[in-house]
Amino acid sequence: MAHENYENTTAIQTKVIPAAMKGMDILGASKSGTGKTAAYVLPLLNKLQKVVKKEGKVVRALIIVPTIELADQVSRTIVSFSKYLDIQTVKVQGGSKKVEQITRIKQGVDIVVATPGRLQDFIADKKINLEHVNTVILDEADTMLDLGFLAEIKNILKSCPAQKQMMCFSATISQNIKQLAKEFLRSPAIVEVSSRRDVVNFIKHRAFKVDKKRKAQLAAKLVKDLGMGQVLIFVNKKETADKLFEYFKAQEIWTTIIHGDIKRGGRAKALTLFKSGKSQVLIATDIAARGIDIPELPLVINYDLPELTDDFTHRVGRTGRANHKGQVITLLTIHDYNTFTTIEKHLKLNIKRDIMEGFEITDKQPRQARPRKKSLREKKGYIDYDKKRKYTYAAQKKKKQESKKKK
């Protein structure tokens, strides 16, 4: 793909493309920014160019993604790669008029890139025919399951022929993903080129403890002091995003915002302004930011700490993409300490908690249990007989009490 400046394949492409070309089902795990989209699009186009027709086109491939933003990104990749092929692609997604999408489908398409909700509506209304589909790809399947799309995905797959090639991609291969693969994939090739730790290890991490009432002030100071052209800030709630957006505007920081309540046009405009450098900061909720691809993004700020390690990993994966350097700063209030410790444990990280000068903590600090140091005898594996006798006595006492109750 000379016009895309492709010279070498990435790790995920090296492993996925040969298996996909053989027609195998694939269960793949890879972080964003590793060339995953090209890994499945290239073999798909190679397969389709042998069977597509100029006239009487039918839907032969279905790519299901969780968000509008990812649908846009995948569609752009397909259109670019199929520049010299007679292959037509259409997006079926929320946030756009149904009638326009239905018209495109009637005109004839080979590939449909869809979000689950809108596609399920089209199937129910008999606006799309999937009986000729020979390839189905689930991209960011873990996110779709998190969003509660499992029922829609199952219904969609049941509308496709039983004999088809399936590829399922996810950031990590969780138990839910394994269950989905077991139900719908046939002897899949397992391709896992990165773990959650791989996502975070390449990136520089910093954390700042701060009073809750001064978080916005600290975030603004970091943006101004670091002077980076692009900063992606994650929050947990839409209300927080709106308040932080207004605060940054008052601080004369050029800022855009995306979350679930902002219509598709507004989200697309915000993303365009941010990518073009016309806004310095993009404030986003997790779901709205899934599928956002910003090359060489230098900094992510966790304004709010996510509860789940996988969400933290997804956020971190927005920077440090394609082996470019990235930095993540996490703001911690007193309510975040334990959750952050858990995330560090899962990812085997040890991030120093700093306090910015002028932002000394006044919130009452919670007590944190200090881990008990093991004695030298315990480290060597010897049994502490005093503790063993204490445990045995307690167990015998409990057993006697239970025996009395039965009598």
Which pLDDT score, from 0 to 100, does residue 3 have? Answer: 45
Three-class DSSP category at 233: strand
Of the two residues 316 and 165, the one the predictor is more confident about is 165
Contact 242, 272 (CB under 8 A): no
Which of 247-251, 289-293, 350-354, 384-388 is the least confident region? 384-388
In the chain the first and final C-alpha atoms are separated, in Å, by 81
Separation in Å, CA 285 to CA 228, 244, 282, 314, 390: 21, 12, 10, 12, 51
Q: State which amino acid sits at residue 137.
A: I
- What is the overall mean pLDDT for the chain? 85
Give 243's pLDDT tier (boundaries 50, 70, 90): very high
Strand extents, DSSP E, 253-338: 255-258, 281-285, 299-302, 327-332
User: Which domains occur in the chain, in start order?
Assistant: 7-194 (3.40.50.300), 197-354 (3.40.50.300)
Which pLDDT score, from 0 to 100, does residue 2 have? Answer: 45
Which pLDDT score, from 0 to 100, does residue 314 have? Answer: 80
Three-class DSSP category at 299: strand
Which of 52-56, 152-156, 160-164, 352-356 is the least confident region? 52-56
Which pLDDT score, from 0 to 100, does residue 272 have? Answer: 87
Q: Per-residue pLDDT for 1 more than 60?
A: no
* Cα distance between residue 232 and residue 280, in whole Å: 9
The residues near 320 (Cβ < 8 Å, ≥ 6 apart) are 33, 199, 202, 203, 326
> What is the rounded average pLDDT of the residues 212-241?
95
Among 28, 53, 23, which Cα is nearest to 163's? 23
**In this structure, are strands 89-92 and 165-170 parallel, antiparallel, or unpaired?**
unpaired
Tokens of 79: 């259109």
Strand extents, DSSP E, 151-280: 165-170, 189-192, 204-209, 231-235, 255-258
**Tens digit of pLDDT for each residue in 8-61?**
788 889 999 999 999 999 999 876 667 889 999 999 999 999 988 888 899 999
* Cα distance between residue 225 and residue 228, in whole Å: 9
Give 193's pLDDT tier (boundaries 50, 70, 90): confident
Which pLDDT score, from 0 to 100, does residue 205 have? Answer: 93
Per-residue 3-state assignment (H helix, E strand, C coil) for 140-170: CHHHHHHCCCHHHHHHHHHCCCCCCEEEEEE
Which pLDDT score, from 0 to 100, does residue 260 have? Answer: 81
* Cα distance between residue 171 and residue 362, in whole Å: 39
DSSP element (H, E) containing 354: strand 353-354
> What is the rounded average pLDDT of the residues 144-149?
84
**pTM for the predicted model, two decimal places:** 0.67
**Tens digit of pLDDT for each residue in 85-96?**
999 999 999 878
**Tens digit of pLDDT for each residue in 367-393?**
655 555 666 655 555 544 444 444 455
* Cα distance between residue 42 and residue 78, in whole Å: 8
